[in-house]
Amino acid sequence: MTRGNSPGKERGRDLNTDSNLIKGDVNGVITIYIAGIFECQNGAITKYYPGAGGSSAIRRENYASDNGIFYILGDHLGSTSTIIQQNMTVVKQEYYYPFGGNRGSAFSELTTRRFTGQYHEAGLPGGEGLSYYNARWYDAYLFQ
């Protein structure tokens, strides 16, 4: 596990031999990732159902709220742009600056997939967290 510390934050990660994220630890909260389609955190589960250009649906189970099936509409880059409930009610619309910064209200907590469909950890230092681009973390506000 690779560890790093910054003021008030502790983080770690485990990667498999293909540099895929399989386990994350942010401030003692451990999340398990399986093949990019399954996340488990303290018994709460999110399953991603892939579609053309990225995830097309997620199923959330055992969360305090917002359980069920949600549909994800993406933009031309595969970024999460709209999240819709099973009854076709729009839950959240997300907008991005050219290099992935959040443009508008806070990101939805329903999914960890953000700009270009990459995993985003809001609990890590940097602007509004960091995005994981397979073997490197990226801060949209520092452009690195």
pLDDT of residue 90: 92
CA distance 127 to 15: 24
What is the pTM (predicted TM-score) of this model?
A: 0.72
List the domain range (segments joined by +) for residue 46. 2-138
pLDDT of residue 5: 44
pLDDT of residue 2: 46
Q: Per the structure, how many domains does the chain have? A: 1
CB burial of residue 105 (10 Å; 0-12, 13-18, 19+) = exposed
Residue 34 lies inside a defined structural domain of this protein: yes
Residue 144 lies inside a defined structural domain of this protein: no
Q: What is the mean pLDDT of each run of 10 residues along the chain (144 residues)?
A: 45 55 72 80 86 78 88 86 90 84 76 78 66 73 66
